[in-house]
Amino acid sequence: MQIVTVALLIVIGVVLFGFVIFFHELGHFLLAKAMKVQVNEFAIGMGPKLLGFRRGETLYSLRLFPIGGYCAMEGEDGCDDGGARPLLHEGPDDGVAIATPQPADNPNAFWNKPVWKRVLVIVAGGVFNVFLGLLLMALTLVPQETFATTQISKFTEGSTLQAAGAQVGDRIVAIDGYAVRNDRDMSFGMALANPDAVSITVQREGQRLDLGPFAMPSQTLENGRRVVSPDFYVMPQPRTAGEVLGRAGSYTVSMVRMVLASLKGIVSGQFGLNEISGPVGTAQAITQAAEAGLAQSFGSAVANILQMIILITVNLGVVNLLPLPALDGGRLLFLIWEGITRKPVPSKYEGYVHAAGFVLLIGLMVVITFNDIARIFTG
């Protein structure tokens, strides 16, 4: 039974990540077209081609494995020698590749576009992922009747926050230095805080008051980590069209901040390997979220799944723009260097850097995936 569960989770993870990656590549594709960069192929899926058609310079194809897609631009790997480069495209017979000389001075080649245009094409993938998160976030907020605020409405009996000096009507603005702008910031700040020494900053009558450090009630998660269990309640806020739009933007920004804070926690050792998930672990989390939602209603299950997709797409968008080899952020770093020095780094050296980064990235994904599978079998 566990083997079937693992297989199902792997399929769910692959399809979900494939959709998010496809949307990422769609961002590159649309900006490339807008910047008049020659796109040789835009593919849905990877591997052998199932079917396709050519419109203008671009081959649009559907490929066998539903694990994302790609946007192949002419000259995206650079051109050092100034000579002719071959352009591979599909010939009249399906599956036959024909090499046609493509002049190095092709004005529509990626490497011949101004740096600012190449920057826009490169960052478009990550931006599209965050934008997708924003759209889905707004969709999940529409059914809600009220929204939580960060203003305290009442305390539980024996509240440690009240004992520390907080009052009804105070607005929480920071937890252990983590800025709180909405209820999701507040929840994440509580999750990061040390239950034995929490510092909370509140705003009262226009003044900021620092409370703490003080101990707060806690609960222990399945991974053994203790987290704060809040001993207070917050004011609700009615839903309006403007509030939905504002919250969607605010929550998306909060999720970007959460991703960055989580990455910082991984680097600093605050989070261990057991708290990092790849596609399999994420699929398991999606399944658990769906089951928890179904206990209430089908709509709740859908909302939970959408929240997980939002987290995934924002994660991909933010992480992909980090200045690391093999990621868009690494390529962006080389473009910034070219913009400053007016001289590009030779493509072969840039290729070496990205190849090394790719090997390390794949190795990390293998370790994380193995840990995800082992965690399923061991509970």
Q: Which residues are catalytic?
A: 25
Report the Cα 147 to chain-centroid distance in Å: 24
Q: Are 310 and 133 in contact (CB under 8 A)?
A: yes
Q: Please tell me whether residue 194 adopts helix, strand or coil conformation.
A: coil
Q: Are 181 and 254 in contact (CB under 8 A)?
A: yes
For 16, 72, 91, 110, 238, the CA distances from 42, given in Å and listed in that order, are: 19, 6, 16, 15, 44
Q: Are 124 and 35 in contact (CB under 8 A)?
A: no
Q: What are phi and psi of 273, to 5 degrees?
A: -60, -35
Q: Are 102 and 85 in contact (CB under 8 A)?
A: yes
From CA 287, how far away is CA 367, in angstroms rounded?
22
The type of residue at 212 is: G
Report the Cα 215 to chain-centroid distance in Å: 33
Q: Which residues contact 294 (CB under 8 A, 6 or more apart)?
A: 300, 301
Partners of residue 218 on adjacent β-strands: 228
Q: Please tell me whether residue 131 adopts helix, strand or coil conformation.
A: helix
